[in-house]
């Protein structure tokens, strides 16, 4: 990563578990880039995602948002098309948008669809699925409540899904955020993930939490500082 990164790493106590506030202060201190870095968490869970009954998946609206501008596409017709535009969607359409995507257009970050259009939108599965852009009822993006869906996404809604190795990755803000705002976001994220705990999960559920900035190293977080849960 370079000399500056190596110098930054030297200031970290690898054995210590930091509070979120302590971690943010240290990441700010050792930052060596001029842009506002994104912050992400990596949470190790006591689940085996290879088993369908231990899949952890859901969404959460972070109270302070992610600091990112999210471009929302809505698949809708008629009154719902107008509702989507009024709610602040960046792109709205039906067959025209489907055709545009089939030709290679993917300049959006999230997609929402009304249930009646999912038969047509389903044709885009191979294009949108691998990129995490496919509307899905489990994440609240297949709905007739277009206003709520768009506003939640714009406000800081984040989808999460456990990956191989039992890890959940999630953005939780920007380095410029107040430390207490980051802590609020992390606590809210963990509360949602705790509620999504599979009944078949055995042993300790929350195992290890790390927070990192775009160009910075990962810092271990004391789980007790962000959740009262002992699971």
Retrieve residue 137's tokens: 């009822």
> How far apart, in whole angstroms, are the C-alpha atoms of residue 50 and residue 148?
33
- Which of the residue ranges 8-12, 81-85, 138-142, 196-200 would you say has the lowest mean pLDDT? 8-12
* CB hemisphere CA count around 215 (13 angstroms): 18
> How far apart, in whole angstroms, are the C-alpha atoms of residue 113 and residue 107?
17
> Phi/psi of residue 87, each to 5°?
-80, -10
pLDDT in tens, 107-163: 999 999 999 999 999 999 999 999 989 999 988 999 999 999 999 999 999 989 999
| C-alpha triplet 206, 204, 26: angle, nearest 5° | 35
Q: Give the pLDDT band of residue 12 (cuts 50, 70, 90).
A: confident
Percent of the chain with pLDDT over 70: 97
């Amino acid at each position: 990563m370079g000399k500056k990164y190596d110098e930054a790493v030297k200031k970290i106590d690898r054995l210590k578990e930091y509070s979120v506030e302590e971690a943010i202060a240290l990441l700010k201190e050792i930052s060596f880039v001029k842009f506002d870095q994104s912050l992400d968490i990596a949470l190790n869970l006591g689940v085996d995602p290879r088993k369908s009954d231990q899949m952890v998946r859901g969404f959460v609206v972070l109270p302070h948002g992610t600091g990112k501008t999210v471009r929302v596409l809505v698949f809708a017709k008629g009154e719902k098309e107008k509702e989507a535009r009024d709610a602040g969607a960046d792109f709205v359409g039906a067959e025209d948008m489907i055709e545009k995507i089939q030709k290679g257009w993917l300049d959006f970050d999230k997609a929402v669809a009304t249930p009646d259009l999912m038969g047509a939108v389903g044709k885009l599965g191979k294009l949108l699925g691998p990129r995490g852009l496919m509307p899905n009822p489990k994440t609240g993006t297949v709905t007739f409540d277009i206003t709520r869906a768009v506003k939640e996404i714009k406000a800081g809604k984040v989808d999460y899904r456990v990956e191989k190795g039992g890890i959940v990755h999630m953005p939780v803000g920007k380095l410029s955020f107040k430390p207490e705002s980051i802590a609020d976001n992390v606590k809210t994220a963990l509360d949602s993930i705790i509620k999504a705990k599979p009944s078949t999960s055995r042993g300790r559920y929350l195992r290890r939490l790390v927070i990192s900035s775009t160009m910075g190293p990962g810092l271990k977080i004391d789980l007790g500082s962000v959740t009262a849960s002992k699971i």
